[in-house]
Structure 1
Amino acid sequence: MADGDDQPTVLVVEDERALIELYVRWLEDDYRVLTADGGEEALEQLDEGIDVVLLDRLMPGMSGDEVLEEIRRRIPDCKVAMVTAVEPDFDVITMGFDDYLTKPVEREELLETIQRLLSRSQFDDIEQELYALSSKQAALRSSKPKEELEENEEFRELQHRIDELRGELDTTLPGMDDDDFVAMVRDIEGGEDSDDLPGDFE
């Protein structure tokens, strides 16, 4: 979906002007950057040429959640990272984002997230779903006590679906330990205390 200059297009949706300017400085060398200071303006700019959306969740007027639903309706293949001060709760399991970053976000983290999302486009549907679900799992593990995760039925269902997808990939990609995709998923999970929770790659 990149334009003719071969630079992928990133749409920054954020109601704090200082953050918009900061993100633009971080991204403008590598990407074509569009900005919107609210949900309505974001939807006015939404088209097939946008590769990644960095989406704030709490904004005056139209919320990030509402913008996300509209993005999914209009451009299902567009990659969306929520970049927000809202700590993830179990409602994120059913949301259609691809990655979830909690503010404050460092420059390197933002750049790595965009690179991962752009790389996802070369993977098949199973791998893309596993990436998104693993991102949600990692976000919840970073914000919720282990005991609360183990007791939550939605999180258990999320874990079960991740296990199913990994099983499918084990069948279709027997050499997946060397696969770039698995390295990406492990990178998502890295830094989390996930060793004693089921479903991690062996």
Structure 2
Amino acid sequence: MTTVLIVDDEPNVVEAYGLWLEDEYDDVRMATGGQEALDAIDGTVDVVLLDRRMPEVSGDEVLAGIHERDLDPRVAMVTAVDPDFDIVDMSFDAYLTKPVTKPDLVKTVDQLLSLEEYESGVRDQFALAEKRAVLETEMTEAELAESEEYQELLEELDRLDAETGDSASELSHDSFAAAVRDLVDE
């Protein structure tokens, strides 16, 4: 059984995402705030779609709470917050900037679910490759070159590539995700 938790402080957004996903996945849960999300999440949640900017308890705080409780769902930040270099140290797997479409949301959930089949090294590579792709899309080459966080991300990707023998850092998010899907289909 697949369980997806949607977290956003805008009830209409939660409801729309819920309608989009209810026919795709077994159990779609909804939370309209950070504290409600922390109360709702448990070891049965496979994927969390998490807004970053929420009053009272932010998405960043929810993400920290998830990991403090040793829960390990795949997490996609689905937010209007433009990414900055602070995302490098955040423990999420995918980053979508609003507005998002139903196909993008379903594709992201499917990609994250497919990662469950793999060891943590591959999941870490996917998350880092995602962050790299997001930053390379949003930042200028000069900003990337000046960022210590970005350089550390590249070094970590290189380390994981050497460790696993794969080269996720050379792949875009979509092509890396496609490679993971191909492995799942074999």
Which TM bucket (shorter chain)? 0.7 to 0.9
**Structure 1: gaps of 5 or more residues:** 1-5, 171-175, 191-202
Does 2:35 correspond to 1:50?
no
The change in CA–CA distance for 1:152 and 1:189 in structure 2 (over 3 A counts) is farther
Match of 1:28 in 2: 22
Does 2:121 correspond to 1:126?
yes
4+ residue segments displaced more than 4 Å: none
How many Å apart are 1:76 and its aligned residue? 3.4
Match of 1:9 in 2: 3
> Once superposed, what is the RMSD of the aligned Cα atoms?
1.6
**Structure 2: gaps of 5 or more residues:** 176-186
Match of 1:155 in 2: 150
Does 2:133 correspond to 1:138?
yes
Match of 2:173 in 1: 188
Match of 1:93 in 2: 88
Task: State the alpha-carbon separation in 2 of the partners of residues 125 and 13 from structure 1.
Answer: 24
Would you say how many aligned residue pairs link Structure 1 and Structure 2? Answer: 173
How many Å apart are 1:75 and its aligned residue? 3.8
Identity %: 46
Task: State the alpha-carbon separation in 2 of the partners of residues 111 and 125 from structure 1.
Answer: 22
TM-score normalised by L of structure 2 = 0.88
Match of 1:165 among 151, 157, 160: 160
Task: Show CA shifts across 1:97-133 (max 9, x none).
Answer: 1111110111111111101111111111211111111
Match of 1:60 in 2: 55
Residues 134 and 189 of structure 1 are in contact (CA less than 8 Å); yes or no, is this contact kept in structure 2?
no
**Rg larger in 1 or in 2?**
1
Task: State the alpha-carbon separation in 2 of the partners of residues 29 and 189 from structure 1.
Answer: 24
How many Å apart are 1:169 and its aligned residue? 2.1
How many Å apart are 1:187 and its aligned residue? 5.2
How many Å apart are 1:60 and its aligned residue? 1.1
Match of 2:98 among 100, 103, 106: 103
How many Å apart are 1:53 and its aligned residue? 0.5
